Amino acid sequence: MKNYVHAKQLPVASRPSVFQSPDEDEEEDYEQWLEIKVSPPEGAETRKVIEKLARFVAEGGPELEKVAMENYKDNPAFSFLHDKNSREFLYYRKKVAEIRKEAQKLQASSQKVSPPEDEEAKNLAEKLARFIADGGPEVETIALQNNRENQAFR
């Protein structure tokens, strides 16, 4: 009879993504692009491509730009991605920055919630918030599902 012993597993050290170079920042500082002055490209199609890609990258993250650079490297409509000194590229980066800034404004304004006027409603809201925070996302999902018609949960 053979006796098999499982070796104790050692914790695995976290390592950076293989898709990211060691000196690469998680996100680029887009604020600097807001300050440049650049006119839009003359061609309507080029402008449309740039603005559409800018929206995707602003909403989905910089990794989408890398994917576009790789997938469309032979497509002349996306050649601006490889010429970082071109007017089209500068316009593209400025658009990404503008869209991100607008999204941040919308997110910040949507997070501003005024507390209830009624003291009893305020206490109830605080208790519910603590209950959901302690219970995690599952409790929040259940509370929302069971109270879809209740205006207080919207």
What does the buried/exposed string (b/e) look like for 33-64 if buried means 16 or more CB atoms within 10 Å of the residue's CB? beeeeeeebeeeebbebbbebbebbbeeebee
Residue ranges of the chain that CATH labels 1.10.10.790: 31-110
Domain 31-110 indexed as CATH 1.10.10.790: yes
* Residue with token string 């809201």: 125
Q: What is the pLDDT of residue 19?
A: 41
pTM here?
Answer: 0.55
Cα torsion 37, 42, 47, 50: sign: negative
Segments in the chain below pLDDT 70? 1-29, 110-116, 139, 150-154
pLDDT in tens, 27-69: 456 788 888 899 999 999 999 999 999 999 998 888 999 999 9
66 Cβ neighbours under 8 A, 6+ residues apart: 19
Amino acid at 82: H
Output the pLDDT for position 2.
Answer: 54
- What pLDDT was estimated at residue 11? 45
100 within 8 A of 58, measured Cβ to Cβ:
yes
pLDDT of the residue at 26: 40
Three-state secondary-structure class, residue 111: coil
Tokens encoding 147: 């109270």
